[in-house]
Amino acid sequence: MTRDPSPVPPLPPVAPRLLDWFDAHRRDLPWRADRDPYRIWVSEVMLQQTTVAAVVPYFHRFVAAFPTVAALAAADEQRVLKLWEGLGYYRRARHLHAAAKRLVAGHGGALPDDPAAWLALPGVGRYIQGAVLSQAFDRRLPIVEANSLRVLARLFGYRGDPREGAGKAWVWAAAEAVLPAERAGDFNQALMELGALVCTPAKPACDRCPLAAACVANRDALQEQIPPPKKQPVVTEVSEVGVVVRRGGKVLLCRRPADAGRWQNMWEVPHAERLAGEPLAESAVRVARALTGLAVTPGAEVATIRHSVTRFRITLAVVGATAPRGAFAPGAYAEAKWVTPDELADYPVSAPQRKLMTHLASGGA
């Protein structure tokens, strides 16, 4: 059961000082050039769990390929995924694409100034709703993300964990309480910008912060304690085997099914977890047969790729193999293609698979 948030204590008005600071220090970012709700929406979806520096080139490429919501709605999903490749969290791209189709079907391609319509779209929660509508239409809607959460917790001296349970409800109430009646979109961006540039996780620059005089954490020297550190998940080591199956000069590339747990509809060489103590060659034969139906003859290990997915630290040992005959059997994968090493760059793949494919395309065995 969700408890009521703790009441947000009154503060001296902070909006005028923060907005003045933002006007003087805001970064010149490509989605800030105008108030186009489509560009703001794309940028906000990309920015979730990703840095501004990483997003900028992706944003330019994406809006050049799909300059309007109608263009995005009409796009092939593989192209959308390809343009997202490397940003991670691919479900966000698939939701963005699905939402664009709904906006074209239900709103004639317009992005409505209507909070309820936004919340009904795939992938849109309270954050995206508030970010787009406050920035594009100046709706007085709050936002909370990692940067503003840290600023608000310190500003009010909130001692609980604002990422969880009652703390989450508290931080949304605080974000709403500080919002001014006008320039809500600029204020939301200013909070995030202050968190990114001044109120940083370690060693915040309180001496040049426009909110220093009102800030409880600054007054009580609690910057290092607020917010409390994130709970670190226990890391689990996983060993996987991947198989580069060759026939002639081509490699077998498989598409994950639409209902896969992650990387839906993206491409890869077949891979799966190794059994404890299983020799690598046996593992490769077993995995290739189970995932593709092909009987392969294993060769040497061609690469070792280390990567992390959530709390799992994965070591992927990749074995070269041949399968001169036999047909691919769909099941574990939706489909497969035999492609030349040069063609590997054309398919949307996950970051670890891209590492492997770059290695193969550069002549790696």
Q: Is 44 an annotated catalytic residue? A: yes
Least distance to ligand SF4, CB of residue 216, Å: 8
Least distance to ligand SF4, CB of residue 51, Å: 19
| Residue given tokens 């891979």 in the structure block | 271
Nearest to 178 by CA among 151, 160, 196, 204: 151
Nearest to 132 by CA among 205, 67, 45, 214: 45
Least distance to ligand SF4, CB of residue 14, Å: 9
Distance CA 167, CA 3 (A): 10
Select which of 44, 145, 240, 268 is catalytic: 44
Binding region for ligand SF4 (CB under 6 A):
151, 154-155, 198-199, 204, 206, 209, 211-212, 215, 217-218, 223
Cis, bond preceding 227 (omega within 30 deg of 0): yes
Residue 235, judged by CB atoms within 10 A of its CB (0-12, 13-18, 19+), counts as: exposed
Least distance to ligand SF4, CB of residue 365, Å: 53
Q: Other C-beta atoms within 10 Å of 32: how many?
A: 15
Least distance to ligand SF4, CB of residue 159, Å: 14
Q: Cα dist. 154→212, 219, 221 in Å?
A: 10, 10, 10
The residue among 75 and 177 lying less far from ligand SF4, judged by its C-beta, is: 177
Distance CA 352, CA 268 (A): 9
The residue among 79 and 163 lying less far from ligand SF4, judged by its C-beta, is: 163
The residue among 56 and 206 lying less far from ligand SF4, judged by its C-beta, is: 206
The residue among 212 and 332 lying less far from ligand SF4, judged by its C-beta, is: 212
Whether residue 193 contacts residue 150, with contact meaning beta carbons closer than 8 Å, is answered with no
The residue among 8 and 209 lying less far from ligand SF4, judged by its C-beta, is: 209
Active-site annotation, residues: 44
